[in-house]
A = this chain, B = another copy of it.
Amino acid sequence: MRTIDLLKSKGVSPSQQRIQILEYLLKNKIHPSVDTIFQNLVNQIPTLSKTTVYNTLALLREKQLIQVIIDNNEIRYDADTEFHGHFKCLECGAIYDFPISEIKIDISSIENFQISEKHIYYTGICALCIKKKGDENGNKT
């Protein structure tokens, strides 16, 4: 489905800014921050305002076209709304996806609760950064 139709299907009128922001998220699965999105689109839309990025992301989230990743310092965004886990590398800042097939919880403590969002968020150091560190230590020239 084209981005325009995706927006229309949720009753959102497809302005240039909205199309571009959603398209950026659909094409760049890097869980970008508001600032990353802004920096990458301001070339194509020179008049773009950061407020528009914030407003649009809030709207897209409301319409469940994107999800938000709770992060320590800044919020990051994801056009993949299927349930999956996220791993944030504390070294390079990258956020990786990982699939989750099942969670066993004793729901007795949150029985009758109405759940709207589920976040699985790991932190640590990614394989690339571990390797990089190893190389640095190995190369005692």
Contact = CB atoms under 8 A, between A and B. Distances in A.
A137 interface: no
A106 B114 CA distance: 27
Contacts of A101: 104-106
Q: Which secondary structure dominates where chain A touches chain B?
A: strand
A122 B117 contact: yes
A110 interface: yes
A30 interface: no
A22 to B, nearest CB: 22
A74 B135 CA distance: 38
A119 B71 CA distance: 11
A114 B124 contact: yes
Contacts of A120: 103, 118-121
A4 interface: no
Given A96-B109, A109-B98, A109-B99, A115 B123 contact: yes
Contacts of A105: 85, 98-101
A109 B99 CA distance: 8
Interface of A: 70-72, 75, 85, 87, 89-90, 96-107, 109-127, 130
